[in-house]
């Protein structure tokens, strides 16, 4: 029932380039979404306060880069160490070093803690844990959080603490017995102190209960800067030692790599090289993709009859009529001097003015009429043909060849209501 061009339609397979062109939008959209996700991740990471707490190169609020930079400007050579062996090597190369130590994760055992305390003449320990206190200063305990802190106090003779004058309250403290020989600075009541000093056989030990005093975020509060510079700046060399997993002793059964003989790994690598060489030698490369037209030619009349049978089988009267209407509207637009892309309202008005028919009548023929039975479908197709003949007659132009006239009596099949 549809009107098709007289030329035969040839089906071709889509080429790889055409398929890539159709999917270009989705590829670009996926790449754009990936770039946005990467940028958001980088921005979130840059704005976070991550990093190792009190690390010498950490500029985040919890880091200690500000203090380290000030020490270096005052001529102190700050050297970082990630393991006890590295700290021991650095200490051996210096004549009078000072050691800064913080181990919030508890990587060192008591033997390694004792070895750490013997590295330098002066040792400053920040945020000591229970194992360190029991190993180095058994008389010192935890004093809780200080709601308020006084000045250096009567039990304090540390020059750095006296020059600092005070520290901000709200941090952790350490407790001392009333008769202990240790020095306590910045008391908060109940024999609790923010800084404790002890003299060991191998070092002058200073315990700072709260590591936030040395952090970038708190270094400028109260007397924190003066206290930190006084404790860490008396010598030309400062070892900044923060233990890592390297200090954890290896325990457990041996790994598979330790049990494997030494000749196994070279043999596996040699077999892999031989396999790759054989694949390159014997492998066959596939040629480029070739786009080839399908050797199938479908005649226009066969397509028309096939679609007509589908419409008849599914009782799609309106769809069949719409196919005829679309072709008729396009021909009428050309006949009245409009573009084939002109709107339907423009075509209706132009046809009405040319034929003298009412616009509602023309619109009923071209759009509004809905066939309910096969008889209505044939009547509507006849009205389309009559309207097109009236326009041809009114235009005074020669009629086109009747190759596209809508068939009425030759429609195959019947649409049951």
Cα–Cα dist 212/127, whole Å:
9
Q: Tell me: do 236 and 159 sit in the same domain.
A: yes
Domain coverage including residue 126: 65-241
Ramachandran sector of residue 367 (left: φ over 0; alpha: ψ -120 to 50; beta: rest): alpha
Rounded Cα distance, 128 and 100, in Å: 12
Answer whether residue 276 is part of any domain: no
> pTM to 2 decimals?
0.52
397: number of Cβ within 10 Å:
10
pLDDT (0 to 100) of residue 348 = 87
Same domain, 129 and 231: yes
Q: What DSSP letter does each residue of 79-96 carry, written as one string? A: EEESSHHHHHHHHHT-SS
* Whether residue 336 is found in the same domain as residue 221: no
Question: Can you give the pLDDT of all 417 residues of the chain as single tens digits?
Answer: 434 444 444 444 556 666 667 777 777 888 888 888 887 777 665 545 567 899 999 989 989 999 999 999 999 999 999 999 999 999 999 999 999 999 989 999 999 999 999 999 999 999 999 999 999 999 999 988 888 887 888 889 899 999 998 898 888 999 998 888 899 999 987 789 999 999 999 999 999 999 999 999 999 988 899 999 999 998 999 999 999 988 887 666 777 777 788 888 888 889 999 888 888 777 766 667 777 676 667 676 777 777 777 877 777 788 888 888 888 888 888 888 888 788 888 888 988 888 888 888 888 988 888 888 888 888 888 898 998 898 888 887 766 544 444 444 334 444 444
Q: How many distinct helices (H) and strands (E) make up the chain?
A: 15, 11
* Cross-strand pairs, 193: 174, 187
Listed residue (140, 130, 151, 136) closest to 175, CA to CA? 140
Neighbours of 228 (CB within 10 A): 25
Residues 224 and 332 occupy one common structural domain: no
In the numeric block, which tokens belong to residue 328?
């008729």
* Inside any domain, residue 230: yes
Q: How far is the C-alpha of 239 from the C-alpha of 116, rounded, in Å?
A: 11
369 located within any domain: yes
pLDDT at 252: 64
Work out whether strand 172-175 and strand 192-199 pair parallel, antiparallel, or are unpaired. Answer: antiparallel
For residue 53, which phi and psi values (nearest 5 degrees)?
-60, 135
Closest CA to 76 of 234, 212, 225, 183: 234
My answer on whether 178 and 87 are in the same domain is: yes
Whether residue 194 sits in one domain with residue 80: yes
Residue 351 CB burial class (10 angstroms; 0-12, 13-18, ≥19)? buried
229 shares its domain with 315: no
Distance CA 2, CA 306 (A): 10
Domain assignment present for 206: yes
Q: Could you tell me which of 395, 406, 404, 405 has the C-alpha nearest to residue 335? A: 395
What does the chain come to in residues? 417
Residue 37 covered by a domain: no
Nearest to residue 119, comparing CAs of 98, 138, 134?
98
**In-domain check, residue 20:** no
**Do residues 199 and 315 both lie within one domain?**
no
* pLDDT recorded at residue 399: 64
Partnered with residue 123 across adjacent β-strands are: 99, 205
* Residue 268 placed within a domain: no
Domain assignment of residue 308, yes or no: yes
When divided into structural domains, the chain yields a total of: 2
Asked if 213 and 350 sit in the same domain, the reply is no
DSSP state of 197: E
């Amino acid at each position: 029932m549809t009107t098709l061009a007289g030329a035969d339609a040839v089906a071709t397979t889509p080429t790889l380039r055409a398929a890539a062109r159709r999917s270009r939008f989705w590829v670009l959209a996926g790449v754009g979404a990936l770039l946005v996700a990467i940028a958001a991740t980088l921005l979130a990471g840059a704005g976070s306060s991550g990093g190792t707490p009190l690390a010498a190169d950490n500029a985040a609020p919890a880091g200690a880069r500000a203090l380290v930079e000030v020490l270096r400007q005052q001529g102190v050579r700050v050297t970082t160490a990630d393991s006890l062996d590295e700290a021991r090597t650095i200490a051996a190369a210096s004549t009078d070093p000072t050691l800064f130590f913080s181990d919030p994760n508890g990587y060192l055992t008591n033997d390694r803690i004792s070895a750490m305390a013997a590295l330098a003449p002066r040792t400053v320990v920040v945020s000591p844990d229970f194992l360190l206190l029991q190993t180095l200063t058994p008389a010192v305990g935890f004093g809780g959080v200080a709601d308020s802190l006084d000045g250096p106090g009567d039990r304090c003779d540390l020059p750095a603490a006296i020059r600092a004058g005070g520290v901000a309250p709200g941090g952790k403290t350490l407790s001392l017995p009333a008769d202990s020989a240790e020095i306590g600075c910045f008391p908060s009541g109940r024999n609790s102190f923010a800084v404790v000093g002890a003299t060991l056989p191998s070092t002058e030990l200073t315990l700072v209960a709260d590591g936030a005093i040395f952090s970038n975020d708190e270094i400028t509060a109260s007397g924190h800067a003066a206290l930190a510079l006084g404790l860490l700046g008396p010598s030309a060399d400062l070892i900044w030692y923060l233990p890592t997993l390297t200090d954890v002793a290896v325990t457990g059964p041996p790994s598979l790599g330790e049990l494997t003989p030494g000749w196994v790994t070279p043999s596996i690598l040699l077999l892999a090289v031989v396999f790759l060489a054989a694949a390159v030698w014997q492998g066959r490369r596939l040629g480029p993709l070739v786009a080839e037209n399908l050797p199938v030619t479908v005649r226009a009349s066969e397509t028309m009859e096939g679609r007509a049978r589908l419409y008849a089988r599914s009782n799609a009267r309106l769809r069949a009529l719409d196919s005829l209407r679309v072709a008729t509207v396009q021909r009428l637009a050309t006949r009245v001097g409009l573009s084939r892309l002109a709107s339907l309202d423009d075509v209706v008005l132009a046809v009405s003015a040319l034929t003298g028919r009412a616009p509602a009548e023309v619109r009923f023929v071209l759009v509004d009429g809905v066939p309910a039975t096969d008889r209505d479908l044939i009547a509507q197709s006849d009205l389309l043909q009559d309207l097109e003949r009236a326009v041809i007659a009114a235009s005074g132009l020669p009629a086109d060849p009747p190759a596209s006239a809508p068939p009425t009596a030759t429609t195959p099949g019947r649409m049951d209501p």
